[in-house]
Chains A and B, each alone.
Chain A
Amino acid sequence: MKKNSRNDDAPRIGVFVCHCGLNIAGTVDCPKVAAEIARLDNVVHARDIQYACSEPGQHAITKDIVELGLERIVIASCSPRLHEPTFRQMLERAGLNPYVLEMANLREQCSWVHINEPGEATLKAVDLVKMAVARASKLEPLQSRKITLNKRTLVIGGGIAGIQAALDLADNGYEVVLVEKSPSIGGNMARLDKTFPTMDCSI
């Protein structure tokens, strides 16, 4: 499939450049980025994709991972703060460790902030993906460990929101400690006469 020079021990890297409709592709030339990246050592597969996070997008990536035996995955799309968990789960479903994923932020930190400079934005996108590939080649699988969770909850503030949260949790069988700084719970709402939109009393 791939003709590039490859060190046999080096991980097989797959790169997916997302259009995000026109959010990225409106500014960044995504097929060009993918083509540039395909030339890198250790990158055995690089392609652009319409919506990486969509169901068909994830399906296509998963298929490539399995069929091409990809070992490190770079998704060049939106901020990892948004979809890192999505793609980590996708990796798990594809049989990879979720931590062999690296994302390049081509939307929030490239296409959206260089809207009027498509040429420069595309060069920057190539750079960002190259950096991601460099990092991905060094990523190691990581194992989570179990943490026991105490099932009690502390609610700070005994106004209407705190009371509602406490009651819902308590009715579901969870223990709640409701802390209120004044002598009574009720908060601001207890001081209201009638309340909109029902025009009934607050207490």
Chain B
Amino acid sequence: MTDAGRHPNIKVMTLSEVIDVKGYVGNFDVKILKKARYVSEKDCTACGDCTRVCPVVRPDEFNSGLSSRRAVYSPFPQAVPSAYVININECLGHNPVVCGKCVEVCEKKCINFHMSDEEVVERVGSIVVATGVEAYDPTELDEYGYTRYENVLSSLELERLVSAGGPSGGELIRPSDRKVPKSIGFVQCVGSRSAGKGASYCSNICCMNTIKSTLVLKEHHPEIEIKVFYIDIRAFGKGFEDLYTKSRSLGVQFIRGLPGSIVETADKGLRVAVDNGASGKIVFHDLDMLVLAVGLKPAKTTKKLQEMLGLQLTSDGFFLEAHPKLQPVDAATRGIFFAGCAEGPKDIKDSVTQGSAAAARVARLLHRGEMLSEPITAEVEAEKCKFCARCVEVCPYGAISLDTKRKLPAVVNPAACAGCGTCAAECPFDAIVMNHYTDEQIMGQVDNLLSENPENRILVFACNWCSYAGADYAGVSRLQYPPSVRLVRTMCSGRVDESFIWAGFANGAPVILVSGCHIGDCHYINANKWTVKRIEKIQKKMEKLGIRPDRLRLEWVSAAEGIRFAALMREMETLRAGVTAEEIAETVNALVKVSR
């Protein structure tokens, strides 16, 4: 921590949050909100004089509320930066008439109530997302009595209780009577591996964290009785099994089965009822103290950041990597990488490994100071442009400029263009060519697909990042679906031109599916909102032409939704089977008439 704080190449910005990101690989403009500290980071010597006079007492978050702090405080003794901070919402006020005691005692005049939040823009070439996790709050699991019984603690609270820097100076004491407990129980999988409350995934660290705690407790109090209630003990890492074996050899009892109920006894002890799977009988365990081994969940900021950076999340709510085995620290968006628990729960060793891996990936990208761009970008055919500025309106990147007054044709900035193709699909004059996904290339695929027995074919347009990847995921998971399905890949659903749909139906397609990323998850900021408008417009036209609009469907499938993709293909097959040869012939005739 201190290494990072004093490294000449690292600018540490605390109390800061990213509020906006613009740009692309190598050239991101990041807007950061730096909240006021109200204590000069440069001048504060962490003498603590201010804290001693502050009259405001609040629970100390660092110690999980087991001790108190003042409104002006140091987050913890080894904090980096070491400067104190004022929580301005708790402070009695910047009005010195009300308080201002800290200002009076600070010899170095570090405290300044006039500091204000600032917005800073940093230009960077790459971004490492290391937003971490939060501990699961066991309040909702009322059967464990976390809020009702004083001597039921979370594992994080125990952590502070046995820490030398913690509220009891490292002395293990029961909260109710401050005596050393004679017996202590651990409940595993609190908020993890649960179909009901909490999360369905394994939080990865809780088994080993509990085993570590049993060793620490046994070291200080060899006589203490320890029982661990578990579903499975997952001691899978290097050296982990040794620790598990050591814990058992020290007399720690590992009991399979999670408590069904917990009641408080007269002396504030806890009676834990556990179903013994072997005997089928309920066994009661009387314990002085109980620790809930809480799981991990994604940080609160995850969703906001995901939208800002155009990233994707798995169904668990963690960031989705570009490839789960081969690109575990890359985001699908170039120039963005993951480190640590942002990508999924992991222990310290794995977090450090991933931090180093992310750094190596960044260096690999940036070391030359330049790279070759993806040439899959849009291009305007100047002579066809009628200056309507529709392309300018729909481009999610503001990559197209056009002078309507002087009637200068649209121009695409290839460095800013990300290649979604929405402009090409929306241009009413076909004046935009989307390189590598041209009308000709896509129509070639559509025509070919429907050249023989079109009535047995399901035409699916799938965007590269979500739906096509979702289809791949169905394949990797060996999920079976009808073989009538044929995918046409575009970079974004925004590329699916109205003319592709009409060509499909005119060639005898019974049904057509357009699929893309969920709204809010679009890889091209929000290009898929134009897909929605376009499909709705086409469906209205279909209705007017007497074509059943439900033969054209629009669905969102994420890269993680293999199961949903396969199910959707079965639905499409049912839909296809319901379209008769006469219906197809009528459609073809209706479209022939229109084209005349």
Interfacial residues, chain A to chain B (CB-CB below 8 A): 79-82, 99, 105, 107-110, 112-117, 120-121, 123-124, 127-128, 130-135, 137-140, 142-197, 199, 202-203
Contacts and interface: CB of A to CB of B under 8 A. Distances in A.
Contacts of B457: 127
10 contacts: A117-B483, A138-B444, A148-B27, A149-B369, A160-B355, A166-B7, A179-B13, A192-B163, A194-B212, A197-B242
Contact of B9 (A120, A128, A170, A185): A170
B354 interface: yes
With most chain B CB atoms within 10 A of its CB, the pick from A107, A115, A134, A137 is: A134
Given A156-B127, A164-B359, A113 B480 contact: yes
Given A149-B370, A154-B128, A158-B12, 18 more contacts: A112-B478, A139-B441, A144-B372, A144-B375, A149-B27, A150-B28, A152-B124, A154-B122, A159-B132, A168-B355, A169-B363, A175-B10, A180-B15, A184-B79, A188-B132, A190-B62, A193-B159, A203-B1
A142 B351 contact: no
B410 to A, nearest CB: 19
B372 A159 contact: no
Contact of A197 (B15, B240, B488): B240
Interface of B: 1, 3-5, 7-18, 25-28, 30, 32, 37, 62, 64, 75-76, 78-81, 85, 122-133, 135, 156, 159-160, 162-164, 166, 170, 208-209, 211-212, 215-216, 237-240, 242-243, 299, 301, 305, 323, 337, 339-342, 347-349, 351-352, 354-356, 358-360, 362-363, 365-366, 368-376, 414-415, 435-436, 438, 440-442, 444-445, 447-449, 457, 464, 468-469, 471-472, 474-476, 478-481, 483, 485-489, 566
A161 B125 contact: no
With most chain B CB atoms within 10 A of its CB, the pick from A107, A108, A153 is: A153
A186 B79 contact: yes
B76 A190 contact: yes
Nearest to A139: B441
Given A147-B415, A160-B351, A190-B1, A131 B448 contact: yes
Contacts of A144: 372-375
B368 to A, nearest CB: 7
Contact of A174 (B1, B32, B366, B436): B366
A86 to B, nearest CB: 11
Contacts of A157: 129-132, 299, 339-340, 342
Nearest to A117: B483
Contacts of A140: 435-436, 438
B30 A154 contact: yes
Contacts of A181: 14-17, 301
A164 B354 CA distance: 9
Contacts, number: 361
A146 B128 contact: no
Contact of A107 (B438, B441, B475): B475
A144 B347 CA distance: 41
A175 B9 contact: yes
Contact of B166 (A114, A165, A180, A193): A193
Contacts of B123: 150, 152
Nearest to A80: B489
A139 B375 contact: no
A134 B10 contact: no
A13 B584 CA distance: 34
B14 A159 contact: no
Contacts of A196: 208-209, 211-212, 240, 243, 347
With most chain B CB atoms within 10 A of its CB, the pick from A139, A140, A172, A183 is: A183
B484 to A, nearest CB: 8
A193 B483 CA distance: 56
Contacts of A121: 483
Contacts of A173: 9
A141 B418 CA distance: 18
A165 B483 contact: no
A17 to B, nearest CB: 17
A173 B359 CA distance: 11
A153 B355 contact: no
A200 to B, nearest CB: 11
B475 A156 contact: no
B12 A185 contact: yes
Contacts of A115: 478, 480
A127 B486 contact: yes
B355 A163 contact: yes
Contacts of B211: 196
Given A154-B122, A180-B13, A146 B480 contact: no
A153 B299 CA distance: 21
B128 A109 contact: no
A104 to B, nearest CB: 10
B356 A152 contact: no
Contacts of A124: 483, 486
Closest 9 CB pairs of A and B: A161-B340, A164-B355, A108-B475, A162-B130, A149-B26, A168-B359, A184-B79, A170-B9, A144-B372
A65 B487 CA distance: 27
Given A147-B372, A184-B75, A108 B339 contact: no
Contacts of A152: 122-125
B12 A180 contact: yes
B351 A161 contact: yes
B362 A169 contact: yes
Contacts of A127: 448-449, 457, 486
A99 B436 contact: yes
Contacts of A185: 1, 4-5, 12, 14, 80
A196 B155 CA distance: 14
A175 B125 CA distance: 10
A110 B130 CA distance: 37
A77 to B, nearest CB: 13
Contact of B340 (A162, A167, A193): A162
A102 B7 CA distance: 48
